[in-house]
């Protein structure tokens, strides 16, 4: 029998995606089997309708072909099990790429209904340490050639008194009897999708899986303490203002065996009045007199390293550019270096002596 998904969700055919989502949320709550108003068959239907109408592509197909376009699909046809679904829901939709099913906001909604959206902690005892963002100021040449920097980080580190296990040394740590150390309790739930196991944080141990009799006197049972650490970080050559460098695993320590977070260094590079940088190329301006320009000359030019002698040929025009090969910025990925360009500025004298004037007038003739 042909189904009208619009009717099932109680929306108009021209409803916006937002309206469809809202309608689904409302109906899913209403019919959820755990609710007093629950109706498993209707819940299943509402879910099916949202899978189609909540996805613009599938909605178009449905508008064109009706539900015949989707026979064999739906939740049962995705090849997912409850664990995949829960994982997906916890991640807010992304993740599992082998699953040919677009969760979109669905995960979020189910998280809301089943109560595992917000509480990551309950499902996993290990807590990932938080990341830290910092700004790092660099001198112009430090960015060009790279530098080792000593940075200060205020972060959580594993408590050295209890070694992160949260108990005062010498006091017993018992495995939680309620969850057997898993940190989760499994419940069988009957839903429209059939019977499923759902896991929630163990009420006895709060998801830790263990019971500490006497909390560590240094970290008060948290397992980590605040620490002002100094860290050596290597800044590679060629970095620029605005870049972000990741220093993996050096931010806040994880809890209960969780991975530490990462430090993100946002680079701010000071300007240098002598050099202008454009990517890997460096531009430097050099003033010469009009006589030097006319007759040619040898001038000293500052580079990123040692100053060098640059020969200016006779008849050099204002704003001429001379290239100093591979005197620019080291290239991070490919090796090699950018170029340096010397831009010649010709100074015209503002005051001339009587003699100089005479010479120039003779020259002009
Ligand atoms: Zn427990
Ligand atoms: Zn401790």
Domain boundaries, the chain: 5-122, 132-172+213-269, 276-364
- Ligand 1 center from residue 185 Cα (angstroms): 7
> Which 3 state secondary structure label does DSSP give 1?
coil
Shortest-distance ligand to the CA of residue 205: 1
- Residues, beta carbon < 5 Å, ion ligand 2: 159, 161-162, 216, 218-219
> Ligand 2 mean position to 159 CA, how many Å?
4
- Asked whether 224 and 216 are in contact (CB, 8 A), the reply is no
Q: What predicted TM-score, i.e. pTM, was given to this entire model?
A: 0.57
Judged by its nearest atom, the ligand closest to the C-alpha of residue 174 is 1
E-assigned strand segments in the chain: 132-138, 147-158, 173-175, 184-191, 194-201, 210-212, 224-235, 244-247, 263-269, 276-278, 281-289, 297-301, 308-312, 321-324, 340-347
Residue 173 C-alpha to ligand 2 middle, in angstroms? Answer: 13
Note the ligand closest to the C-alpha atom of 219: 2
Backbone φ, ψ for residue 173 (5° rounding): -120, 120
Q: How far is the CA of 225 from the centre of ligand 2 (A)?
A: 7
In the reported structure, the alpha carbon of residue 179 is separated from the centroid of ligand 1 by a whole-number distance in angstroms of 4
Are 213 and 171 a contacting pair, CB within 8 Å? yes
Domains 5-122 and 132-172+213-269 share a fold: no
Report how far ligand 1's centroid is from the alpha carbon of 124 (Å): 12
Q: Which CATH architecture has domain 276-364?
A: Sandwich (2.60)
**Ligand nearest to the backbone CA of 176:** 1
Please report, in tens digits, the pLDDT of each residue of the chain (365 residues total).
578 899 999 999 899 999 999 998 888 888 877 777 778 788 888 888 888 888 888 888 778 777 766 643 333 333 333 333 344 434 333 333 222 233 333 444 444 344 333 333 344 467 899 999 999 999 999 999 999 999 999 999 999 999 988 899 999 999 988 888 888 888 777 777 677 777 788 888 888 888 899 999 999 988 999 999 999 999 999 999 999 999 999 999 998 888 999 999 999 999 999 999 999 999 999 999 999 999 999 999 999 999 999 999 999 999 999 999 999 999 977 889 999 999 999 999 999 999 999 999 998 88
State in Å: Cα 215 to ligand 2 middle. 8
d(CA 182, CA 204): 11
Instruction: Give the distance (Å) from ligand 2 centre to CA of residue 163.
Output: 6
Quote the tokens at residue 69: 């376009």
Residue 109 Cα to ligand 1 middle (Å): 27
Superfamily of domain 132-172+213-269: Urease metallochaperone UreE, N-terminal domain (2.60.260.20)
CB-based contacts of 187-193 (< 8 A; 24+ apart in sequence): 189/33, 189/34, 190/33, 190/40, 191/33, 191/34, 191/40, 191/43, 192/33, 192/40, 192/41, 192/43, 192/44, 192/47, 193/44, 193/75, 193/76, 193/82
Contact 240, 212 (CB under 8 A): no
Q: Any idea which residue has 């819940």 for tokens?
A: 43
CATH number of 5-122: 1.10.287.110
Tokens (6 digits) for 42: 């209707």
Q: Which residues of 40-52 are buried (b: 16+ CB within 10 A; e: fewer)?
A: eebbbbbbbbbbb
For ligand 2, the distance from its centroid to the CA atom of residue 118, given in whole angstroms, is 27
Torsion of CA 171, 177, 182, 183, to 10 degrees: -80
Tell me the ligand closest to 167's alpha carbon: 2
Distance 94 CA to ligand 2 centre (A): 36
Distance from residue 183's CA to the centre of ligand 1 (Å): 5
Tell me the ligand closest to 211's alpha carbon: 1
């Amino acid at each position: 029998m042909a189904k009208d998904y619009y009717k099932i969700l109680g929306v108009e055919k021209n409803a916006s995606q937002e309206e469809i989502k809202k309608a689904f949320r409302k109906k899913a709550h209403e019919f959820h089997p755990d609710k007093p108003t629950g109706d498993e068959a209707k819940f299943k239907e509402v879910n099916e309708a949202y899978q189609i109408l909540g996805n613009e592509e599938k909605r178009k197909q449905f508008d064109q072909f009706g539900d015949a376009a989707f026979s064999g699909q739906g939740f049962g046809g995705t090849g997912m099990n409850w664990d995949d679904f829960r994982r997906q829901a916890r991640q807010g939709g992304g993740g599992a790429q082998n699953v040919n099913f677009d969760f979109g906001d669905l995960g979020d909604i189910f998280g809301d209904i089943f109560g595992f959206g917000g509480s990551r902690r309950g499902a996993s005892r290990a807590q990932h340490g938080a990341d830290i963002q910092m700004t790092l100021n660099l001198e112009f040449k430090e960015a060009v050639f790279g530098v080792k920097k000593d940075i200060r980080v205020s972060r959580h580190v594993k408590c050295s008194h209890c070694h992160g296990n949260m108990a005062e040394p010498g006091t017993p740590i018992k495995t939680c009897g309620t969850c057997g150390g898993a940190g989760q309790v499994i419940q069988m739930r009957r839903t429209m999708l059939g019977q499923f196991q759902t896991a929630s944080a163990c009420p006895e141990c709060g998801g830790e899986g263990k019971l500490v009799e006497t909390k560590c006197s240094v970290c008060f049972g948290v397992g980590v303490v605040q620490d002002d650490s100094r860290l050596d970080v290597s800044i590679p050559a060629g970095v620029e203002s605005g870049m972000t460098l990741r220093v993996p695993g050096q931010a806040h320590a994880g809890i209960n065996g969780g991975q530490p977070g990462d430090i993100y260094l946002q680079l701010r590079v000071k300007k240098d009045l002598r050099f202008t940088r454009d990517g890997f190329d460096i531009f430097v301006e050099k003033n010469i007199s009009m006589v030097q320009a006319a007759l040619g000359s040898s001038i000293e030019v500052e580079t990123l390293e040692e100053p060098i002698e640059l020969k200016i040929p006779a008849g050099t025009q204002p704003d001429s550019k001379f290239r100093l090969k591979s005197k620019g910025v080291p290239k991070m990925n490919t090796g090699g270096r950018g170029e340096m360009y010397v831009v010649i500025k010709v100074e015209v004298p503002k005051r001339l002596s009587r003699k100089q004037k005479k010479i120039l007038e003779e020259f002009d003739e």
